[in-house]
Structure 1
Amino acid sequence: MIRLFLTRHGQTQWNVEKRFQGSLDSALTELGVKQAKLLRDRLAHEKFDIIYSSHLNRAYKTAEIIKGNREIEIIKDENLAEMRLGKWEGLKHDEIMENYSKEYELFWNKPHLYKPSTGEGYNELEKRVIGCLKGIIEENDGKNVLIVSHTVVVKQIMAYFENRPLEKLWDLPFIYPTSLSLVEIDNDIVEIKMHADISHFENSMKVNC
């Protein structure tokens, strides 16, 4: 059996500013670091064999914090990076709503119809993320694996395990920073043990995520 622990990076400065990040990056906030430390403490008694992280610094820094003093490898993989958002990257949500209203509406509410003029579509994202996921599963049978990535990537992975269609990708639960999902796979039998759990959070931590 393989046990897959999945999480999103901690809160970043651009999360606070409500900017789209995509393949660009911004630093973890003080709260983001605290979120990662709380998840580290929650997982302190779990034995991880390996950690996979997006190569983007907000995810890799989160992975380093969660790793703590474990002597295990963190493997950076660009296929676990956030969705590439082209000309939207660095812009605030309200700027995108004003200038790209139709695309923005489809992005959130009808992802199966979203066709970006620049950047990456959901089908492209699915191909690279699920291809990467299958490789991780194949290479790590019998292990505990932590994957540290981004909102859309975690959404896509969980939708894959749930057989959830693309048009329902953004259905709840919300993927808060450092929320935790756990999937166990035994002889091709998939069991979702946890999905976007935030029981390690303090009460105020849902703000500006």
Structure 2
Amino acid sequence: MATRFILVRHGETTWNREGRYQGQIDTPLSDFGKWQGERVAEALKNIPIDACYASPLSRSYDTAVMCARHHGLAVTADDRLLEINHGEWEGLLASEVAARYPDLLEKWRTTVVDVKMPGGETIADVRDRAMAAFRDYAVRHGGQTVLVVAHDAVNKAVLCSILDIDLSHFWQVKQDNTCINVFEYQDNGRWRLVLMNSTAHLGFLFSGIEQRGL
């Protein structure tokens, strides 16, 4: 019997709106982000969910709590779901990163795979730790439905991994705030994608929003 995962990105933060690199800085949800969290929680309230995990950063953890309370579940924080460590870029506006690190930023936004921000980590590092978490959840919750609330880079890396596509496709995957993804870990050991970047609960099929601090 397949193990089903519902993977959600956290709600909006003020830094998302400003185009500021957050990384592992613990930025809270904006008022709009809280509204988004309530909307995704409402969308999932009638879906049977057996366990809930989240990044310990409050923007993800608080989004998860909104969802989990409809199911009487506690949220387990897992450091392996932390957003990518942007190192020295964290706290900077996209325009400031562009001015200080133009060549590295261009490489990050194109080749992505082997790019490591000063003092940070690579997207492969994120993929490896996040997928280790999902493999653990699949064993622990075989045949159940698991809600995971994480971050843009984490979600994209995971989706590339379950589709068995190279991380060079990272920028071809979009993750809006509080989007819903659904995928399964099947008995044959393969992953199957069911739904990606759904934002219907927010009132639109697609957002058209392009965030800069990514």
* TM-score under structure 1 length normalisation: 0.94
- TM-aligned CA distance change 1:93 to 1:107, over 3 Å: same
Which segments of 5 or more consecutive residues in structure 1 lack a partner in the other structure? none
2:162 — aligned with what?
161
**Residues 53 and 75, structure 1, Cα contact 8 Å, conserved in 2:** yes
The alpha-carbon deviation at position 68 of structure 1 amounts to: 2.8
Q: 3-state DSSP class of the match of 2:201? A: coil
Task: Report 1:56-135 matches (<5 A).
Answer: 56-135=57-136
1:180 aligns with 2:188: no
Q: Can you list the C-alpha shifts for 1:168-191, whole angstroms capped at 9, x where unaligned? A: 11113x100010000022212422
**Residues 36 and 65, structure 1, Cα contact 8 Å, conserved in 2:** yes
Letter in 2 for 1:41: E
Task: Report 1:141-152 matches (<5 A).
Answer: 141-152=142-153
The alpha-carbon deviation at position 205 of structure 1 amounts to: 6.2
Letter in 1 for 2:75: I
Q: Distance in 2 between matches of 1:17 and 1:47?
A: 36
Q: 3-state DSSP class of the match of 1:170? A: helix
Q: Can you list the C-alpha shifts for 1:35-82, whole angstroms capped at 9, x where unaligned? A: 111111111111111100000011011001112332212110011000
Q: Distance in 2 between matches of 1:144 and 1:6?
A: 11
The alpha-carbon deviation at position 207 of structure 1 amounts to: 4.6
Count of residues in Structure 1 that have an aligned counterpart in Structure 2? 208
Q: Distance in 2 between matches of 1:69 and 1:38?
A: 12
The alpha-carbon deviation at position 17 of structure 1 amounts to: 1.4
Q: Distance in 2 between matches of 1:43 and 1:127?
A: 28
**Residues 106 and 113, structure 1, Cα contact 8 Å, conserved in 2:** no
Q: 3-state DSSP class of the match of 1:178? A: coil
- Bigger shift: 195-204 or 58-67? 195-204
Q: 3-state DSSP class of the match of 1:200? A: helix
Q: 3-state DSSP class of the match of 1:113? A: coil
Q: Distance in 2 between matches of 1:57 and 1:135?
A: 23
- TM-aligned CA distance change 1:69 to 1:199, over 3 Å: closer
Q: Give the 4+ runs in structure 1 shifted more than 3 A.
A: 203-209
- TM-aligned CA distance change 1:115 to 1:207, over 3 Å: closer
Q: RMSD of the alignment, in Å?
A: 1.6
Identity of aligned residues (%): 25
